[in-house]
Chain A
């Protein structure tokens, strides 16, 4: 019974998200919401590795770019159906993430961060130099996934990806995988000593994360209809993914969605003033979050709620009452 009750609110939320294009027809706002969903999906993907497992990757543009380029290359060079390209990008994300994991998971702390950054940068440079396939800095056109002028089908597609990403996180948090990942984040040696296969679970988290990022990258490429290495493989992409999750709340199910909403709306608000410098707001908010709200918006909120609930339980004298009197 409680299981059913637990699953109702998220399902209701998913239905609400999916029904938005039925009454919202304004293309500008639909575009803004599509961007919110793109960053929700990416932030959630990052959150599995960076938030739950505590592995601060700043190289996730590699997977995003892989999805985007696989779709673009298979469509333009081989004439594939774009859906097949998206599927291939997601499949290829598995070996790429295992390869990157096999290198970077040997590194700890700052070296892990720098390692992920360096590998993603190498991929960007290769994409720039490998002109016969990627067209280099000139970029390639990407076919549309959906015909017609309406943005609604794009909305539904990315909404499904975002819901799946948040759904997987929701599932992870409630199953042993989530506990294992959290244990790895808190203390890797201890996690290992109690028999958790830390490398295995870190790789699992990275694979899930990479496949989600690749799917979103392919979607984004088709939505923009044009990609080049500096759009899909650059450092800012990796940074934005991490920032969305950190500002919303690392290691919380809905944190990335909250962060994506905040940041997309904030950068829309200042678009006219900042023009090319739209990441200024990301940098400022990231600094503010680290200094004043390290748990992120949702993380801090959840901590407060937990503390208040504990205090109330203590006051009503149920479980903590005795201990409180004793102290």
Chain B
């Protein structure tokens, strides 16, 4: 009986969190799909987005949601710069060396945050964080609802941008066949740089949305990074829409599974799902097998 009563509440919480997960997964899928780079630093970029938001709130008094207008561009530029200076050099290297390079990058970002902000847990509290909206037996935090709405809006805008804009076309062409795209006169270098920047901007935006509803600490991104891969694998490698759906699926699986295994092992559910999907359905839940 207890379990059944929790069900609708967890369903709603899972769905709300899923919106943010979708954003995280889409950002990683963009980088993996377009540039074929296994970016182990995605979680660290999310963390940078959270601390940028934190600084905006505490020093300039900017609302975290308005802050996205600054956080996302900052992360976009940072991503482009890092792509140009570092990632670019391993673009054609083995996946192993890409993984190791981005692991190193992640360690540098995390430990720099450790140096600047110490390992203390921090929190950003907004006036509406305490506001709770009740519908039937389900309670929803207002901050969660806003974060969810903004995340969905960004994901939809991204999808529209990728499908309709000239740059989106160039990007999808590069993802499909780099050399053919190059022959068609697409500046592949610029596309890859922009795609990486865009992926990091999405991670930053997700970080900004998480800040009002989560704690921040330098290693906060570690689990999100691995979860982002779970989403991408769930959605079929390299598909941005698939990864977004994977994000929602993962969040739902976590919040429903939490009822049975408890709060502490919630994260473990995602990782077990991850390994199972890799073993049993490597093309992902929503994807077709890739050649």
Q: Please report A residues at the B interface, Cβ cutoff 8 Å.
A: 54, 56, 58, 103, 106-107, 109-111, 113-115, 117-119, 121-122, 125-126, 128-129, 235, 239, 242-243, 246, 274-280, 282-287, 290-291, 294
Contact = CB atoms under 8 A, between A and B. Distances in A.
Interface string B11-53: 0000000000000000000000000001000000000000000
Contact of B271 (A54, A122, A280, A294): A122
A223 to B, nearest CB: 23
Interface in B228-270: 229-230, 233, 262, 264-265, 267-268
B275 interface: yes
Given A56-B96, A110-B95, A115 B275 contact: yes
Contact of B114 (A117, A277, A285): A277
**Which of A114, A119, A275, A276 has the most C-beta atoms of chain B within 10 angstroms of its own C-beta?**
A114
A287 B108 contact: yes
Given A109-B95, A117-B226, A122-B268, A283 B114 contact: no
A241 to B, nearest CB: 12
Nearest to B222: A235
A130 to B, nearest CB: 9
Interface in B265-287: 265, 267-268, 271-272, 274-275, 278-279, 282
Contacts of B279: 103, 106-107
B182 interface: no
B132 interface: no
B119 A276 contact: yes
B107 A129 contact: no
B101 A287 contact: yes
Nearest to B101: A290
A283 B89 contact: no
Interface of B: 38, 86, 89-90, 95-97, 99-101, 103-108, 110-112, 114-115, 118-119, 222-223, 226, 229-230, 233, 262, 264-265, 267-268, 271-272, 274-275, 278-279, 282
B103 A294 contact: no
A283 B112 CA distance: 10
B239 to A, nearest CB: 16
Contact of B108 (A118, A125, A242, A284): A284
Given A122-B272, A277-B111, A294 B97 contact: yes
A291 B108 CA distance: 15
Nearest to A109: B95
Nearest to A117: B226
A125 B267 contact: yes
Nearest to A111: B278
B95 to A, nearest CB: 5
21 contacts: A54-B96, A103-B279, A107-B278, A110-B99, A113-B96, A114-B278, A115-B275, A118-B271, A122-B268, A125-B267, A242-B100, A280-B107, A280-B108, A280-B112, A283-B103, A283-B107, A284-B104, A286-B107, A287-B104, A290-B90, A291-B86
Contact of B275 (A119, A283, A294): A119
B233 to A, nearest CB: 8
Nearest to A137: B264
Contacts of A114: 226, 229, 233, 274, 278
A279 B111 contact: yes
Contacts of B264: 125, 128-129
Nearest to A129: B264
Contacts of A111: 233, 278, 282
Contact of B265 (A106, A129, A246): A129
Contacts of A56: 96, 99-100
B200 to A, nearest CB: 17
Nearest to A240: B107
A286 B95 contact: no
B115 A277 contact: yes
B108 A246 contact: no
Contacts of B226: 114, 117-118, 121
